[in-house]
Structure 1
């Protein structure tokens, strides 16, 4: 009597569910890969702006920001400001970290000769040792007429629910700082100080050049694509294995599906002793 062989188990409903899950997983990987590509594109654009603008010759701010409309391609562009600091309206920006150390940014409005006001970030001040959590000293800006070169930065978003003591603000939200000034103002941007003429004897630490590093986004994007492809490879391998097992005699199918047990040292020793006894 011939040995019976079971027909291959197709299981299309079960494998269809596996395929649907694999497609969902691959789509998720594709979306994550696209997100990493987008972040890389943003980083590459930022690097291009730094290379094009950071070391450019200073220009009048009215030429770079006509009608006070922010253009992202203007970021880091040096501008020339001429006028007088409004030292009585200066504020400190809280929670500014530099090389891992907490501190403040010193912001002072500058009234230009044409009557417009621009916020100037004079630089970073470390947190002092006193109990009041303030800088040990806040440098005084040059008095009288001054010529300032600063690099343009966009106004930061307002932080709802964040409060700050008098003389401090939680973010460089330019409109908030300019609310009380009765003058035409530039609200879309502020200037990160490069130089002052006349130069003061003591000044905050100037802003550091931004890092020109696009980060690991490209490798992450490729990894997510690889994960999506490997999911289909794994599904196909599992389907082929199931087909091969289904083609075996019924009494061999359970053993073929059982996970292979790794031999422990004790099992090896027992096998050697059994052979010696024989």
Structure 2
């Protein structure tokens, strides 16, 4: 009944279904991997973002080489800002609005220097390509609470004087001409004394999981539905073949050609039966004409 499945056409259909299902499984697993990464980031935010700050002495190794699990950890720093080394970082959108971030070297009382990202500024209206103004950090001794963030890769593009293409800490150190701790920088949470004018603070990272799980389940369902559709099509083909075979058998038993036959047998005309009794007027007339040779 299902021997047609071994035909080249149906084997081709099965191969296409298998390829499509494999692609769906791959995409579903990709979405699951992205979900796992998102959940790991959410866990770091929940665990570290609002935890009590630790002193720099405990976090120094993280500024040299950041453990991904320590991202967003709050650290207390004491020292002074180096205003001459202040830079703005280009192409930093926030909530869909283009702008900049302000980074400043922070010289610690221990003699080492880290980088603090003090916040965000919108694109200026008066000076194209830069903010209208950049608030200066407080002078003198400052206590800053920052959250650890990994340095960024170098981008293959330049930046005007006083600006950076990315928070590439080794390149920033080379530009400043003195060493920085280049494993991580600090995203400012608060500082004492507070400056009169501040860049916009950074919002808390989202802890929403997103749609990765639903997309993953959808891809897996598409893969299953492909085989369901193949099975349905095969069943319909088998049913149609069974109906054709039954019609052909019934026609053979009735002595008729099958319904699907294209060659119709000629029908033999059966002569009308002759009525008994007196011949009709037409028959008598035909007899007279025959006798006269017509």
Q: TM-score, normalised by structure 2?
A: 0.79
1:65 is displaced (CA, Å) by 4.5
Could you tell me how far 1:238 is from its partner in structure 2?
0.6
> CA 1:37 to 1:11, structure 2 compared with 1: closer, same or farther past 3 Å?
closer
Match of 1:139 among 135, 138, 148: 135
| Cα separation, 2, equivalents of 1:135 and 1:172 | 18
Are 1:75 and 1:154, in contact at CA under 8 Å, matched by a contact in 2?
Answer: yes
Q: Deviations over 1:172-205 (max 9, x none)?
A: 1122111144554221211010111111111111
Cross-structure match for 2:281: none
Match of 1:76 in 2: 72
Q: CA deviation at 1:60?
A: 2.3
Q: Could you tell me how far apart the structure 1 residues matched to 2:259 and 2:186 are?
A: 77
Q: Which runs of 4+ in 1 moved over 4 A?
A: 181-184, 250-254
Question: Which residue of structure 2 aligns with residue 39 of structure 1?
Answer: 34
Query: Is 1:116 matched with 2:112?
Result: yes
Choose which of 194, 206, 210 in structure 1 pairs with 2:201.
Answer: 206
Residues 9 and 243, structure 1, Cα contact 8 Å, conserved in 2 = no
Moved more, 41-50 or 95-104: 95-104
Partners of 2:259 and 2:166 in 1: CA distance: 71
How far is 1:253 from its partner? 7.4
Residue 153 of structure 1 and its aligned partner are, at CA, apart by: 0.8
> What is the rounded CA distance, in whole Å, between the counterparts of 1:173 and 1:36 in structure 2?
30
1:101 aligned counterpart, secondary structure: coil
* Residue 59 in structure 1 maps to residue 54 in structure 2: yes
Give, in whole Å, the separation in 2 of the partners of 1:124 and 1:139: 11
1:227 to 219, 222, 235: 222
1:146-177 residue CA offsets vs partner (Å, 9 max, x unmatched):
111100111112212x1211111111112211
CA distance in 2: counterparts of 1:129 and 1:73, whole angstroms = 40
CA shift, 1:28, in A, is 0.5
Larger Rg: 2
Q: 2:88 matched to which residue of 1?
A: 92
CA distance in 2, matches of 1:24, 1:65: 52
Query: Which secondary structure does the structure 2 equivalent of 1:205 belong to?
Result: coil
Q: Secondary structure at the match of 2:105?
A: strand
What is the DSSP-based 3-state SS (H/G/I as helix, E as strand, rest coil) of the residue aligned with 2:4? coil
Alpha-carbon RMSD across the aligned residues, in angstroms, is: 2.0
Matched, 1:106 2:97: no
Ranked by relative contact order (alpha carbons within 8 Å, sequence separation 6 or more), the top structure is 1
CA 109–253 in structure 1, closer or farther in 2 if over 3 Å, else same: farther
Aligned equivalents of 2:218, 2:28: Cα separation in 1: 8
Residue ranges of structure 1 left out of the alignment (5+ in a row): 1-6, 255-278
Q: How far 1:19 sits from its partner (Å)? A: 1.1
After superposition, the C-alpha distances for 1:31-78 in whole angstroms (9 at most, x for unaligned) are 100010011111111111111001111112342352712111111111
Task: Show the counterpart of 2:270.
Answer: none
Measure, in 2, the Cα distance between the counterparts of 1:246 and 1:71: 66
Q: Which runs of 5+ in 2 are unaligned?
A: 249-257, 262-294
